[in-house]
Structure 1
Amino acid sequence: MSNGQKEIQVKFPDNLQGGVYSNNMVVSHTKEEFIMDFLMVAAPAGSVMSRIIVSPGHIKRIVAALNENIAKYESMFGEIQLSEEPKANIGFH
């Protein structure tokens, strides 16, 4: 690696390799952290599939990485078409 940086070896646990599908997301925040709840919604119910909590600085890096990758995707495959937002409110219990 350049600039004298060490390579970090990341372990990828077997139970996470398949990923988790989510078709909705709810984002909330406090002063210290952003909370992203990834949901699988099939009316009239839904389930939280994963919750990710990150610092404000890290969420900005996530947004930058997503924007960069969306631009690359759209340059290869064309503009992503957005579907209509669901009309139902999402509440947790």
Structure 2
Amino acid sequence: MADEKQNPNQISIELSEDMAEGVYTNLAMIAHAQSEFVIDFIRMMPGVPKAKVKSRIILTPEHAKRLLKALEDNIKKYEANFGPVKSIEDNPKFPINFGGAMGEA
């Protein structure tokens, strides 16, 4: 029999098929209180005045800082492989232009 000793620091993560598909969002809004950060991931569609929150993540300040560091690390690795990520304006202006011609009614 194989020796099945588990590392006590190892965790098993389950990812369902539905969750593995992911959800596309093109806007995130962040709010915070003393004990938590709230990140709303939103999908805006051109010509639609109402945007929907597709996912809300609530983090402790400590986990928010870990997420920031993990994103910074992954962006550095991404840019090392694929080149710099193009930056757009620091603050998006509303309504957001999706790159196509503006429609008229």
Alignment of 1:3-82 (within 5 A): 5-43=8-46, 44-82=49-87
Gaps of 5+ in 2: 1-6, 96-105
Q: How far off its partner does 1:75 sit?
A: 0.9
Bigger share in strand: 1
| Alpha-carbon distance between aligned partners in 2 of 1:21 and 1:11, rounded to the nearest angstrom | 21
Gaps of 5+ in 1: none
| Alpha-carbon distance between aligned partners in 2 of 1:5 and 1:81, rounded to the nearest angstrom | 42
How many residues in Structure 1 have an aligned counterpart in Structure 2?
86
Q: How far off its partner does 1:5 sit?
A: 4.3
From 66, 87, 93, the equivalent of 2:93 is 87
- How many percent identity over aligned positions? 37
* Alignment-mate amino acid for residue 94 of structure 2: A
SS class of match (2:68): helix
RMSD between aligned residues:
1.6
Q: How far off its partner does 1:45 sit?
A: 2.2
Structure 1's consecutive aligned runs of 4 or more residues displaced over 6 angstroms after TM superposition are: none
| TM-score, normalisation: structure 1 | 0.83
